[in-house]
């Protein structure tokens, strides 16, 4: 994930919202937020960027692997799927449509501004959603509030939100007590 963020910060520039990552090209979108009494806040957002291969099949309870490459330009204008979780609790806190829940959910989102894209010298904040490790998603962190409080008003912070596996998919323990890394609790730190 660190390399992905470095690419986002290094290769972005001005009106060009096309970013070259090691896995392919993404295109972000501009967003204006009218949430603040200080007036409109402008931002650039890159949504739904995969940071790992889909954790399905043989990868279901394993450490994530680097995402595969894609061809063409990937539109980064929508959040990725919500991780499998308590749907009632999750959809109360997000603007995403029900039905966007999937095991293929390891996506991150980046919110920044033109200054950070040009100067490449801004602070980075990783915002991790709550939800007792069994619900919510990165889109539970309202983008308008993130933009207003961190990206806009010349605060010049790059904000990253991320999904992580929840419930049994992220916090299950299947070890037999031998203490090997493959049997240890996967505590969602793997992704």
Residue 137 lies in a domain: yes
Asked whether the predicted pLDDT for residue 177 surpasses 70, the reply is: no
Number of separate domains in the chain: 1
Cβ atoms of residues 31 and 45 within 8 Å? yes
Residue 188 lies in a domain: no
Residue 51 lies in a domain: yes
Secondary structure E strands in 66-174? 73-75, 82-83, 101-102, 107-112, 123-128, 157-162
Residue 177 lies in a domain: no
Would you say the pTM of this structure is higher than 0.95? no
Q: Say which range, 19-23, 93-97, 162-166, has the weakest mean pLDDT.
A: 93-97
Higher model confidence: residue 143 or residue 115? 115
Give the model confidence (pLDDT) of 63-79 as tens digits: 888 988 999 999 999 98
Which residues span the domain enclosing 149?
Answer: 2-171
Q: Say which range, 18-22, 29-33, 94-98, has the weakest mean pLDDT.
A: 94-98
Secondary structure E strands in the chain? 18-21, 24-27, 29-36, 39-50, 73-75, 82-83, 101-102, 107-112, 123-128, 157-162
Most confident range (mean pLDDT) of 34-43, 59-68, 115-124 is 115-124
Residue 68 lies in a domain: yes
For residues 80 and 32, what is the distance between their CA atoms, to the nearest angstrom?
A: 21
Average pLDDT, the chain: 75
Residue 40 lies in a domain: yes
Tell me which residue of 50, 88, 86 sits closest to 191, measured CA to CA: 50
Residue 131 lies in a domain: yes
Predicted local distance difference test score (pLDDT) of residue 91: 54
Residue 187 lies in a domain: no
Residue partners of 179: CB distance under 8 A and separation at least 6: none
């Amino acid at each position: 994930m660190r390399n992905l963020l470095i690419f986002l910060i290094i290769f972005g520039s001005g009106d060009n919202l096309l970013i070259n990552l090691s896995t392919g090209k993404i295109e972000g979108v501009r967003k204006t937020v009218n949430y603040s009494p200080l007036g409109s806040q402008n931002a650039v957002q890159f949504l739904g960027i995969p940071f790992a291969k889909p954790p399905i099949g043989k990868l279901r309870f394993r450490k994530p692997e680097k995402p595969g490459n894609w061809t063409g330009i990937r539109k980064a204008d929508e959040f990725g799927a919500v991780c499998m979780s308590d749907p009632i609790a999750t959809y109360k806190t997000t603007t995403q449509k029900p039905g966007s829940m999937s095991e293929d959910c390891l996506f991150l989102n980046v919110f920044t501004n033109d200054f950070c894209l040009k100067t490449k010298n801004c602070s980075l904040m990783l915002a991790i959603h709550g939800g007792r490790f069994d619900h919510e998603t990165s889109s539970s962190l309202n983008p308008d509030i993130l933009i207003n409080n961190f990206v806009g008003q010349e605060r010049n912070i790059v904000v990253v939100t991320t999904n992580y596996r929840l419930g049994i998919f992220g916090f299950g323990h299947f070890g037999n007590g031998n203490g090997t890394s493959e049997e240890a609790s996967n505590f969602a730190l793997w992704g």
